[in-house]
Amino acid sequence: MGWALALHGGAGDIKRSERTEAVESVLLECLSLGVAELESGRCALDVVELVVRALENNEMFNAGKGSVLTAEGTVEMEASIMDGATGDCGAVSGLTTVVNPISLARLVMEKTPHILLAFDGAEAFARQQGVETADPGYFVTERNIQRLRQTKETQTVQIDYSVPSEAGETVGCVAVDCHGKCAAATSTGGMVNKMAGRIGDTPVIGAGTYANGVCAVSTTGKGESIMRGMVAADVAARMKYKALKLSEAAGSVVKELEAGTTGLVAVSAKGEIAMDFNTTGMFRASADHTGHLEVGVW
Protein backbone atom coordinates (compact mmCIF):
# COMPACT_ATOMS: atom_id res chain seq x y z
CA MET A 1 0.00 0.00 0.00
CA GLY A 2 1.04 3.61 -0.50
CA TRP A 3 1.34 6.18 2.26
CA ALA A 4 -0.45 9.55 2.43
CA LEU A 5 -0.21 12.55 4.74
CA ALA A 6 -2.24 15.72 5.33
CA LEU A 7 -2.01 18.53 7.87
CA HIS A 8 -3.79 21.77 8.70
CA GLY A 9 -3.01 25.02 10.48
CA GLY A 10 -6.52 26.35 11.04
CA ALA A 11 -9.58 27.37 9.01
CA GLY A 12 -11.57 30.60 8.81
CA ASP A 13 -11.61 34.11 7.37
CA ILE A 14 -8.00 34.25 6.24
CA LYS A 15 -6.66 37.38 4.55
CA ARG A 16 -3.71 37.57 2.16
CA SER A 17 -0.42 38.96 3.49
CA GLU A 18 3.28 38.21 3.73
CA ARG A 19 2.53 36.37 6.97
CA THR A 20 0.28 33.87 5.21
CA GLU A 21 3.20 33.04 2.93
CA ALA A 22 5.34 32.42 6.01
CA VAL A 23 2.72 30.08 7.44
CA GLU A 24 2.55 28.17 4.15
CA SER A 25 6.33 27.83 4.25
CA VAL A 26 6.20 26.29 7.73
CA LEU A 27 3.46 23.90 6.63
CA LEU A 28 5.64 22.78 3.73
CA GLU A 29 8.57 22.19 6.10
CA CYS A 30 6.38 20.10 8.43
CA LEU A 31 4.93 18.22 5.47
CA SER A 32 8.43 17.42 4.24
CA LEU A 33 9.32 16.16 7.71
CA GLY A 34 6.37 13.78 7.70
CA VAL A 35 7.02 12.63 4.15
CA ALA A 36 10.61 11.73 4.97
CA GLU A 37 9.50 9.68 7.96
CA LEU A 38 6.80 7.83 6.04
CA GLU A 39 9.20 7.09 3.21
CA SER A 40 11.63 5.63 5.73
CA GLY A 41 8.93 3.22 6.94
CA ARG A 42 7.92 5.04 10.14
CA CYS A 43 4.44 4.17 11.38
CA ALA A 44 1.56 6.63 11.00
CA LEU A 45 1.17 7.15 14.75
CA ASP A 46 4.78 8.26 15.15
CA VAL A 47 4.53 10.55 12.13
CA VAL A 48 1.42 12.46 13.22
CA GLU A 49 2.93 13.05 16.66
CA LEU A 50 6.20 14.24 15.15
CA VAL A 51 4.53 16.65 12.72
CA VAL A 52 2.19 18.13 15.34
CA ARG A 53 5.13 18.60 17.72
CA ALA A 54 6.86 20.65 15.03
CA LEU A 55 3.75 22.78 14.60
CA GLU A 56 3.38 23.25 18.37
CA ASN A 57 6.93 24.57 18.51
CA ASN A 58 6.18 27.38 16.05
CA GLU A 59 4.44 30.38 17.59
CA MET A 60 2.67 31.19 14.31
CA PHE A 61 0.05 28.62 15.28
CA ASN A 62 -2.53 28.50 18.05
CA ALA A 63 -1.00 25.44 19.69
CA GLY A 64 1.92 24.87 22.02
CA LYS A 65 4.17 27.93 22.08
CA GLY A 66 1.69 30.12 20.16
CA SER A 67 -1.41 29.25 22.17
CA VAL A 68 -3.97 32.01 22.63
CA LEU A 69 -4.97 33.43 26.00
CA THR A 70 -8.02 32.88 28.18
CA ALA A 71 -10.05 35.72 29.69
CA GLU A 72 -7.70 35.46 32.68
CA GLY A 73 -4.64 36.03 30.47
CA THR A 74 -3.46 32.44 30.89
CA VAL A 75 -2.84 29.57 28.49
CA GLU A 76 -4.91 26.36 28.60
CA MET A 77 -3.73 23.96 25.90
CA GLU A 78 -5.34 20.74 24.69
CA ALA A 79 -4.48 17.91 22.32
CA SER A 80 -5.44 14.40 21.31
CA ILE A 81 -4.05 11.49 19.31
CA MET A 82 -5.58 8.26 18.04
CA ASP A 83 -4.20 5.07 16.56
CA GLY A 84 -6.61 3.74 13.94
CA ALA A 85 -5.01 0.30 13.94
CA THR A 86 -5.85 -0.39 17.59
CA GLY A 87 -8.47 2.17 18.54
CA ASP A 88 -6.20 3.39 21.32
CA CYS A 89 -6.35 7.12 22.00
CA GLY A 90 -5.24 9.74 24.47
CA ALA A 91 -6.10 13.37 25.17
CA VAL A 92 -5.19 16.25 27.46
CA SER A 93 -6.76 19.59 28.31
CA GLY A 94 -6.10 22.59 30.51
CA LEU A 95 -2.31 22.39 30.21
CA THR A 96 -0.31 25.42 31.32
CA THR A 97 3.35 24.31 31.25
CA VAL A 98 3.72 21.36 28.85
CA VAL A 99 5.78 22.32 25.78
CA ASN A 100 4.33 19.58 23.55
CA PRO A 101 0.76 18.66 24.57
CA ILE A 102 0.48 16.10 21.76
CA SER A 103 3.25 13.99 23.26
CA LEU A 104 1.59 14.07 26.67
CA ALA A 105 -1.65 12.93 25.01
CA ARG A 106 0.22 9.94 23.60
CA LEU A 107 1.60 9.14 27.04
CA VAL A 108 -1.93 9.21 28.44
CA MET A 109 -2.83 6.67 25.75
CA GLU A 110 0.14 4.41 26.42
CA LYS A 111 0.85 4.80 30.14
CA THR A 112 -2.57 5.12 31.78
CA PRO A 113 -5.89 3.23 31.73
CA HIS A 114 -7.63 6.49 30.77
CA ILE A 115 -8.25 8.52 27.63
CA LEU A 116 -8.48 12.13 28.83
CA LEU A 117 -6.57 13.89 31.61
CA ALA A 118 -7.07 17.58 32.36
CA PHE A 119 -5.79 20.53 34.38
CA ASP A 120 -3.91 19.73 37.64
CA GLY A 121 -4.11 15.98 37.08
CA ALA A 122 -2.65 16.28 33.61
CA GLU A 123 0.11 18.60 34.84
CA ALA A 124 0.99 16.17 37.64
CA PHE A 125 1.13 13.32 35.13
CA ALA A 126 3.44 15.38 32.92
CA ARG A 127 5.85 15.90 35.82
CA GLN A 128 5.67 12.21 36.67
CA GLN A 129 6.56 11.27 33.08
CA GLY A 130 9.38 13.80 32.89
CA VAL A 131 8.12 15.56 29.75
CA GLU A 132 9.52 18.95 28.82
CA THR A 133 7.80 21.84 30.58
CA ALA A 134 8.32 25.59 30.65
CA ASP A 135 7.29 28.55 32.74
CA PRO A 136 3.78 29.69 31.70
CA GLY A 137 5.33 32.90 30.38
CA TYR A 138 7.03 30.89 27.62
CA PHE A 139 3.63 30.52 25.92
CA VAL A 140 2.55 34.17 26.17
CA THR A 141 3.40 35.98 22.93
CA GLU A 142 2.98 39.67 22.16
CA ARG A 143 0.63 38.82 19.28
CA ASN A 144 -1.71 36.93 21.61
CA ILE A 145 -1.58 39.66 24.25
CA GLN A 146 -2.82 42.06 21.56
CA ARG A 147 -5.53 39.64 20.45
CA LEU A 148 -6.80 39.25 24.01
CA ARG A 149 -6.87 43.02 24.45
CA GLN A 150 -8.90 43.41 21.26
CA THR A 151 -11.46 40.79 22.22
CA LYS A 152 -11.89 42.27 25.69
CA GLU A 153 -12.52 45.70 24.16
CA THR A 154 -15.24 44.25 21.93
CA GLN A 155 -16.48 41.82 24.60
CA THR A 156 -16.18 38.85 22.25
CA VAL A 157 -14.73 35.37 22.25
CA GLN A 158 -12.62 34.82 19.17
CA ILE A 159 -12.45 31.43 17.50
CA ASP A 160 -9.86 30.66 14.83
CA TYR A 161 -10.17 33.42 12.22
CA SER A 162 -13.49 34.78 13.49
CA VAL A 163 -12.01 38.09 12.37
CA PRO A 164 -9.78 38.37 9.29
CA SER A 165 -6.37 36.94 10.15
CA GLU A 166 -3.17 36.06 8.37
CA ALA A 167 -1.59 33.68 10.89
CA GLY A 168 -2.03 30.00 11.64
CA GLU A 169 -4.36 28.59 14.27
CA THR A 170 -5.29 25.09 15.54
CA VAL A 171 -3.04 22.38 14.08
CA GLY A 172 -3.57 18.77 13.10
CA CYS A 173 -2.11 15.92 11.10
CA VAL A 174 -3.42 12.66 9.66
CA ALA A 175 -1.44 9.87 8.03
CA VAL A 176 -1.70 6.39 6.58
CA ASP A 177 1.53 4.42 6.41
CA CYS A 178 2.74 1.80 3.92
CA HIS A 179 0.96 -0.90 5.94
CA GLY A 180 -2.41 0.82 5.57
CA LYS A 181 -2.56 1.90 9.21
CA CYS A 182 -4.13 5.31 9.95
CA ALA A 183 -3.54 7.81 12.76
CA ALA A 184 -4.67 11.33 13.64
CA ALA A 185 -3.45 14.07 15.99
CA THR A 186 -4.73 17.57 16.83
CA SER A 187 -3.49 20.36 19.13
CA THR A 188 -4.77 23.82 20.07
CA GLY A 189 -4.80 26.68 22.53
CA GLY A 190 -8.56 27.10 22.05
CA MET A 191 -10.41 30.40 21.77
CA VAL A 192 -9.10 33.90 22.46
CA ASN A 193 -10.76 35.27 25.61
CA LYS A 194 -12.43 31.93 26.37
CA MET A 195 -13.62 31.32 29.93
CA ALA A 196 -10.99 29.64 32.06
CA GLY A 197 -11.86 25.95 32.11
CA ARG A 198 -13.51 25.87 28.69
CA ILE A 199 -12.78 22.64 26.78
CA GLY A 200 -13.20 22.52 23.01
CA ASP A 201 -13.44 19.80 20.40
CA THR A 202 -9.73 19.07 20.07
CA PRO A 203 -9.41 16.67 23.06
CA VAL A 204 -12.82 15.09 22.41
CA ILE A 205 -12.30 11.82 20.56
CA GLY A 206 -14.76 11.65 17.68
CA ALA A 207 -15.15 15.41 17.44
CA GLY A 208 -11.72 16.94 16.85
CA THR A 209 -9.79 13.73 16.25
CA TYR A 210 -10.71 10.24 15.09
CA ALA A 211 -9.02 7.28 13.42
CA ASN A 212 -10.01 3.67 12.72
CA GLY A 213 -9.21 1.01 10.17
CA VAL A 214 -10.94 3.01 7.44
CA CYS A 215 -9.65 6.59 7.81
CA ALA A 216 -8.15 9.28 10.04
CA VAL A 217 -9.59 12.78 10.55
CA SER A 218 -8.43 15.99 12.27
CA THR A 219 -10.70 19.05 12.48
CA THR A 220 -10.36 22.78 13.05
CA GLY A 221 -12.81 25.64 13.52
CA LYS A 222 -15.61 26.39 15.99
CA GLY A 223 -15.29 23.73 18.65
CA GLU A 224 -18.86 23.85 19.87
CA SER A 225 -20.20 23.22 16.35
CA ILE A 226 -17.70 20.44 15.75
CA MET A 227 -18.63 18.74 19.02
CA ARG A 228 -22.35 18.91 18.29
CA GLY A 229 -21.75 17.22 14.94
CA MET A 230 -19.07 14.79 16.18
CA VAL A 231 -17.46 15.70 12.88
CA ALA A 232 -14.39 13.46 12.79
CA ALA A 233 -16.33 10.32 13.73
CA ASP A 234 -19.13 11.23 11.33
CA VAL A 235 -16.74 11.13 8.37
CA ALA A 236 -15.58 7.66 9.40
CA ALA A 237 -19.16 6.46 9.96
CA ARG A 238 -20.28 7.57 6.50
CA MET A 239 -17.42 5.64 4.96
CA LYS A 240 -18.05 2.54 7.04
CA TYR A 241 -21.83 2.37 6.98
CA LYS A 242 -22.75 4.16 3.74
CA ALA A 243 -19.74 2.88 1.78
CA LEU A 244 -18.84 6.42 0.67
CA LYS A 245 -15.43 7.33 -0.65
CA LEU A 246 -13.36 9.59 1.60
CA SER A 247 -13.97 12.64 -0.58
CA GLU A 248 -17.73 12.04 -0.52
CA ALA A 249 -17.88 11.46 3.23
CA ALA A 250 -15.72 14.44 4.19
CA GLY A 251 -17.36 16.76 1.69
CA SER A 252 -20.90 15.90 2.74
CA VAL A 253 -20.16 16.29 6.46
CA VAL A 254 -18.61 19.73 6.04
CA LYS A 255 -21.31 20.89 3.62
CA GLU A 256 -24.07 20.08 6.10
CA LEU A 257 -22.53 22.14 8.91
CA GLU A 258 -23.11 25.83 9.56
CA ALA A 259 -21.07 27.91 7.09
CA GLY A 260 -17.89 29.42 8.45
CA THR A 261 -17.41 26.90 11.27
CA THR A 262 -15.42 23.90 10.12
CA GLY A 263 -12.41 22.56 8.28
CA LEU A 264 -10.83 19.12 8.28
CA VAL A 265 -8.08 17.01 6.82
CA ALA A 266 -8.46 13.27 6.34
CA VAL A 267 -6.78 10.24 4.80
CA SER A 268 -8.17 6.78 4.09
CA ALA A 269 -6.53 3.40 4.53
CA LYS A 270 -6.43 3.25 0.72
CA GLY A 271 -4.27 6.36 0.56
CA GLU A 272 -6.98 8.87 -0.41
CA ILE A 273 -6.73 12.46 0.85
CA ALA A 274 -9.50 14.98 1.65
CA MET A 275 -9.11 18.58 2.81
CA ASP A 276 -12.53 20.22 3.11
CA PHE A 277 -13.70 23.46 4.70
CA ASN A 278 -16.78 25.72 4.70
CA THR A 279 -14.81 28.83 5.64
CA THR A 280 -13.02 31.39 3.48
CA GLY A 281 -9.86 29.32 3.67
CA MET A 282 -7.85 26.72 5.55
CA PHE A 283 -4.10 26.44 5.90
CA ARG A 284 -3.42 22.94 4.61
CA ALA A 285 -0.85 20.68 3.01
CA SER A 286 -0.77 17.11 1.75
CA ALA A 287 1.41 14.57 -0.03
CA ASP A 288 1.35 10.90 -0.99
CA HIS A 289 3.51 8.12 -2.38
CA THR A 290 2.65 8.98 -6.00
CA GLY A 291 4.46 12.31 -5.82
CA HIS A 292 1.35 14.42 -5.18
CA LEU A 293 2.17 17.51 -3.10
CA GLU A 294 -0.16 20.40 -2.26
CA VAL A 295 0.06 23.44 -0.02
CA GLY A 296 -2.88 25.82 -0.02
CA VAL A 297 -4.98 28.35 1.85
CA TRP A 298 -8.01 29.41 -0.21
**Binding-site residues for substrate:** 198-201, 220-223
The span from the CA of 215 to the CA of 201, in Å, is 19
The one-letter amino acid code at 206 reads G
Q: Give CA angle at 250 (248, 251), nearest 5°.
A: 65
Tally of CB atoms within 10 A around 21: 11
The one-letter amino acid code at 208 reads G
The span from the CA of 129 to the CA of 126, in Å, is 5
The helix/strand/coil state of 296 is: strand
Q: 70, 170, 186, 279: which one is catalytic?
A: 170
Is 170 among the catalytic positions? Answer: yes
By DSSP bridging, strand 262-268 and strand 215-221 are antiparallel
- Is residue 6 within 8 A of residue 285, CB to CB? The reply is yes
Annotated binding site: 198-201, 220-223
Q: What are phi and psi of 184, to 5 degrees?
A: -140, 150
Please give the torsion angle defined by the CA atoms of residues 84, 27, 122 and 129, in that order, rounded to the nearest 10 degrees: 80
Residues with a known catalytic role = 170
